[in-house]
């Protein structure tokens, strides 16, 4: 239940003043006014395309404006694999040593003749993507006008194509495929939930000189592209030489934190042979884009077939409506397909047809047009993949499957369809955060299926939308204050339910936090947060005390706390160490949340699954006879475990030498239970196998 408040800033029409590595060694400079590092890597010459080339991306020299903090990319190990002859650029990226949790753009960058390259390849890249000169982005018209000038008066304009992106894991690692089937403008973070605040007291930020005071990142699942050229689906046929492939840090328009620094690059050559390659026309204006992936699925368990057919739908929203581009791959060759927004229930009569096209000989299909969809309701208790939401399903099906009114007429043949991996759904876009409220069964506190419910959308202000309520009843939305009868609960607003059982309440957001310690008998423990309830106004009296007793069947309750924070607990990290006593970056670890002489919660992560572990307050000196057992637990299949208990009388050791010299405090260790013998909660025998242990990073001081 650990949530981070999210802040999202959407800026359209932004010039991408990134430090793209466009300069060669002739002195032409990019946005940073500094040359690229000379690249000595030799890429294999064009061949028959039957083997994979592979090479490493190298650090760009003297990069300014890195995102959040400056990092030495000499530590990065980023390998690119690709075939030298393809029908579109496709590569495999395997990376480690990047910034953890950061998003990177993947780009192809051209080099014109004026910078020591060739204009033909530079134009192939520029007409597929964007143009860049003297620290500014240019459009097609500007480039074409520049070409008409006398040679001595021309600007040196580079073409570049942002075509894919990825977000690293918590260790700065990623392995992913990249494909040049979309031309991006820049990346955004979907809202909700939007950007999240990073904990600058934790790795990798701790100890770094930060470039801004409140840095934010975006979860991988929430990153989406703003489309540059909606009609682009693949690179034009031709030989691509004198170009680079680069990685650029995505900064999500946080100018104080950094501005799209290009940090890794290398030369790359390849050839595109395609029947449908195109040279893109000029695009004026840019549209905010979202996307949904479609996959072939195994109908026996609905898992994604890998490798299987797949597709990506990009749809771009504008004030006057929105359009879409869909590209499907690995389909049946020369088959007519229809992209639909599927309408529940089966056989899907009334489904919306988005477009139809034949796949080519390679099993690829391209469909574009005006976006439309139908929303389906999936209430709690719904037996399918979704519940508690309304949204649109997007499917790709053989056209022959559909009859009048887009009803499916040939039965259920799911192995021939592509299915969305998530719904397309709408929520009030102007609010950053959302909370569901539900009617609950007071006998077991389960959500009442098809019962009354509401959605609270909030940031500085809020909008509450309730439905299924009793018409004509005056309701009050409150931030409930513990304990019963809730005196001094905060009133957010009131409203009377309409004839159809709906109510809207809006105003300035306010709340109060309740403390829920570990061992609390209710739904929450170990956190502080705000409860939000909707209750009939008649239930409340002076100071918002409940005056008519406890009538929970008439209330709506939050499904989770908002603004929750750790409940005044101190955090101690436990880490795995190697034989040289260095912390294992990719090793198991633990988090010991404690309140001195009160209670604790320990969470172990990435341990050996199915092993019983014991948490100890260690007694010096070795062999640790007398160490105190704090708790034991067996890890689950994912190597996770949790121990919580009262905390009292930790063993305090005084140190006259070593890393803790001059200190008195408690060591906390996690060890396999098989390595110790205990009697009455204390260790009587200890086996030393430190590579299987977790150790504290600091003492709990006396």
Q: What is the pLDDT of residues 394-422, one digit of tens each?
A: 999 999 999 999 999 999 999 999 999 88
Q: What is the pTM of this model?
A: 0.39
DSSP 36: P
* pLDDT reported for residue 287: 33
* pLDDT reported for residue 514: 84
pLDDT digits (tens, 9 = 90+) for 636-660: 998 988 888 888 889 999 999 988 9
Question: For residues 127 and 48, which has the higher predicted lDDT (pLDDT)?
Answer: 127
The mean-pLDDT minimum among 275-284, 410-419, 661-670 falls in: 275-284
- Average pLDDT of the chain? 82
pLDDT digits (tens, 9 = 90+) for 199-208: 888 888 887 8
pLDDT band at 521 (very low <50, low <70, confident <90, very high): low
In residues, how long is the chain? 702
> Helix (H, G, I), strand (E, B), or coil: what is residue 370?
strand
* pLDDT reported for residue 30: 28
* pLDDT reported for residue 616: 96
Question: For residues 528 and 12, which has the higher predicted lDDT (pLDDT)?
Answer: 528
> Helix (H, G, I), strand (E, B), or coil: what is residue 552?
helix
For 48, the token pair is 């028959």
For 564, the token pair is 């929750």
Mean pLDDT on 26-38:
26
Among 264, 265, 259, 266, CA closest to 64? 259
Tell me how far CA of residue 182 lies from CA of 162, 325, 326, 394, 488, in angstroms.
8, 9, 10, 19, 55
* pLDDT reported for residue 3: 28
pLDDT of 327 > 60? The answer is yes
pLDDT of 9 > 70? The answer is no
* pLDDT reported for residue 660: 92
pLDDT band at 568 (very low <50, low <70, confident <90, very high): low
Among 279, 269, 291, 270, CA closest to 223? 291
Question: For residues 15 and 513, which has the higher predicted lDDT (pLDDT)?
Answer: 513
* pLDDT reported for residue 150: 86
DSSP 282: P
* pLDDT reported for residue 279: 34
The rounded distance, in Å, linking the Cα atoms of 551 and 358 is 60
pLDDT of 16 > 60? The answer is no
* pLDDT reported for residue 586: 80
The mean-pLDDT minimum among 172-176, 333-337, 417-421, 683-687 falls in: 172-176
pLDDT digits (tens, 9 = 90+) for 489-520: 999 999 999 999 999 998 888 888 887 765 56
pLDDT of 682 > 80? The answer is yes
Task: Match 């389960």 to its residue by tokens.
Answer: 446
What are the structural domains of the chain? 20-272 (no CATH), 298-420 (2.60.40), 433-566 (2.60.40), 570-701 (2.60.40)
């Amino acid at each position: 239940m650990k949530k981070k408040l999210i802040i999202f800033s959407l800026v359209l029409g932004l010039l991408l003043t990134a430090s793209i590595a466009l300069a060669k060694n002739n002195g032409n400079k990019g946005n940073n006014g500094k040359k690229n590092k000379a690249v000595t890597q030799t890429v294999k010459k064009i061949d028959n395309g039957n083997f994979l080339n592979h090479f490493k991306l190298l650090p760009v020299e003297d990069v300014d404006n890195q995102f959040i903090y400056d990092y030495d990319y000499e530590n990065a190990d980023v390998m690119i694999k690709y075939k030298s002859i393809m029908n579109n650029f496709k590569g495999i990226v395997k990376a480690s040593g990047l910034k953890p949790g950061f998003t990177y753009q993947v780009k192809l960058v051209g080099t014109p003749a004026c910078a020591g390259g060739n204009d033909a390849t530079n134009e192939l890249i520029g007409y597929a993507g964007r143009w860049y000169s003297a620290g500014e982005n240019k459009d097609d018209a500007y480039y074409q006008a520049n070409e008409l000038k006398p040679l001595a008066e021309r600007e040196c304009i580079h073409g570049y194509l942002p075509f894919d992106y990825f977000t690293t894991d918590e260790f700065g690692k990623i392995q992913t495929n990249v494909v040049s089937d979309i031309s991006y403008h820049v990346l955004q973070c979907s809202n909700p939930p939007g950007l999240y605040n990073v904990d600058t007291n934790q790795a990798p930020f701790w100890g770094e000189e930060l470039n801004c005071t409140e840095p934010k990142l975006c979860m991988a699942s929430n990153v989406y592209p703003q489309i540059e050229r909606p009609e682009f689906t693949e690179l034009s046929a031709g030989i691509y030489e004198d170009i680079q492939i680069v990685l650029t840090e995505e900064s999500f328009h946080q100018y104080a934190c950094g501005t799209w620094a290009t940090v890794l690059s290398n030369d790359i050559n390849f050839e595109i042979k395609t029947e449908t390659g195109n040279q893109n026309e000029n695009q004026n204006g840019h549209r905010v884009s979202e996307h949904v992936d479609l996959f072939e699925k195994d109908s026996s368990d609905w898992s994604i077939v890998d490798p299987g057919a797949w597709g990506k739908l990009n749809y771009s929203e504008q004030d006057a409506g929105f359009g879409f581009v869909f590209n499907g791959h690995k389909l049946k060759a020369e088959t007519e397909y229809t992209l639909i927004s599927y309408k529940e229930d089966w056989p899907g009569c009334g489904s919306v047809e988005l477009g139809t096209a034949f796949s080519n000989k390679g099993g690829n299909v391209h469909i574009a047009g005006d976006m439309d969809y139908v929303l389906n309701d999936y209430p709690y208790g719904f037996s399918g993949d979704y519940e508690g939401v309304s949204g649109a399903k997007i499917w790709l099906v053989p056209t022959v499957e559909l009859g009048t009114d887009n009803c499916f007429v040939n039965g259920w043949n799911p192995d021939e369809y592509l299915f969305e991996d998530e719904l397309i759904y709408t929520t009030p876009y102007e609010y950053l955060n959302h909370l569901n409220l539900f009617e609950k069964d007071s006998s077991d506190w389960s959500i009442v299926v098809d019962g009354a419910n509401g959605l609270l959308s909030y940031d500085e202000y809020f909008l509450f939308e309730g439905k299924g309520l009793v018409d004509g009843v005056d309701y009050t939305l409150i931030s409930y204050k513990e304990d019963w009868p809730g005196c001094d609960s905060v009133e957010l607003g009131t409203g009377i339910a309409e004839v159809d059982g709906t109510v809207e309440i809006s105003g300035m957001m306010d709340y109060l936090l309740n403390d829920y310690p570990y061992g609390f008998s209710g739904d929450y423990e170990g956190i502080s947060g705000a409860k939000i309830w909707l209750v009939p106004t008649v239930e409340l009296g002076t100071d918002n005390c409940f005056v008519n007793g406890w009538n929970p069947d008439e209330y709506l309750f939050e499904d989770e706390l908002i603004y929750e924070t750790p409940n005044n607990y101190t955090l101690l990290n436990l880490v795995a160490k190697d034989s040289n006593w260095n912390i294992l970056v990719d090793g198991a670890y633990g988090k010991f949340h404690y309140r001195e002489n009160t209670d604790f919660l320990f969470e172990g992560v990435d341990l050996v699954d199915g092993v019983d572990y014991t948490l100890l307050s260690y007694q010096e000196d070795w062999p640790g006879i007398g160490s105190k057992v704090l708790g034991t637990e067996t890890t689950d299949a994912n190597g996770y475990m949790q121990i919580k208990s009262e905390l009292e009388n930790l063993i305090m050791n005084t140190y006259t030498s070593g890393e803790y010299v001059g200190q008195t405090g408690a060591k906390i260790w996690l060890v396999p239970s098989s390595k110790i013998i205990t009697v009455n909660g204390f260790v009587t025998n200890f086996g030393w196998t430190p590579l299987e242990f977790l150790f504290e990073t600091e003492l709990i001081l006396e």
